[in-house]
Amino acid sequence: DQDNLVHAVMVEVPSDDERSREELPFANATKLVPVHKQFRVWIGGVAVLGAFVALIVILPGVGNQPPTPPAPTSSMPSLSLPPSSSSIPSMFPSTDPSENPTHFPSVSPSSNEDFQQNALFELSNVLANENWTKNNGWGSSSSNMCSWYGVVCDTDGLDIFVTELNLAANNLTGNIDDASLLGNLKYLEQLDLDSNSIVGNLTAFSLNLIQFSHLKYVDLRLTELTGSIPPEVCDSMEGVDLRVDCDIECHCCSHDVMCEEECMDVPGWHDSDGEYYDCAWHAGSGD
């Protein structure tokens, strides 16, 4: 009967040689380890985690660093230089008449004294102090200028000011025009150069005396200065006792008193031989 037919399927069994060839590629295969159990994966993970922690620790500290200060523009402090001699017009530097010795200084006390002492040093060189009759202290940087012969000083408790220069009849010789630093003695009240062989332009010298706003007495008699005293000097030096030789034109000088007498004693005056003669000697000499 057809209903009872058995459908048979032929199964082909491989031979031993064929089985060995099919299993050959897997003969040396190793067992795979899961990714989460591999050693290199753990090492890499730890390294990444360490870097992340380091960033968390370091970055806040960097952000809190103070700003770097700007580089200095100069390694040297700025300096205030004292006025140079090139700023001195003509013979003497200008002086503000409103200044008062008790309200000086625009410079330090030591500098103020140096300026004055330098003027005296120059004056001693210009007028040949080595030939002076009296030159005690002059030219010595180790002694106080106020102890020099003929120099009188005053002080306001802070600064020292040369107020008088009395060198009458002291054998001074030279050109007063070369004393360019004399203007440093801006607080001079008395200047006595009477009876000395100094030469120079009296007109120019007197014009520069206007800048000495504290002057009270100036004696330039019996010198070899030439020129006259201009009217503007008299106008500016009103009240100053200005004395020049009788042949010098000067309408504010004391000619009306001093030039009427034929002879007038000059304290300390002497001739080239050092001999002292007064008016009594002159009257008795018959000259």
pLDDT tens readout for residues 112-127 = 889 999 999 999 999 9
pLDDT tens readout for residues 227-284 = 999 999 999 998 999 999 988 999 898 776 667 666 666 655 555 555 666 666 656 6
**SS3 of residue 175 by DSSP:** strand
d(CA 198, CA 131): 13
Which spans in 80-186 are helix H?
Answer: 109-126
Which spans in the chain are helix H?
Answer: 16-23, 39-63, 109-126, 202-209, 231-236, 255-258, 279-285
- Lowest-confidence pick of 75-84, 149-158, 240-249, 268-277: 75-84
H or E stretch at 166: strand 160-166
Asked whether 229 and 210 are in contact (CB, 8 A), the reply is: no
Tell me what the mean pLDDT of segment 175-186 comes to.
Answer: 92
To the nearest 10°, report the CA torsion of 142, 147, 153, 154.
Answer: 90
The position carrying tokens 């040093």 is 121
pLDDT for the residue numbered 276: 64
Tokens, residue 53: 């922690």
Asked whether 82 and 105 are in contact (CB, 8 A), the reply is: no
pLDDT tens readout for residues 192-236 = 999 999 999 999 999 999 999 999 999 999 999 999 999 999 999
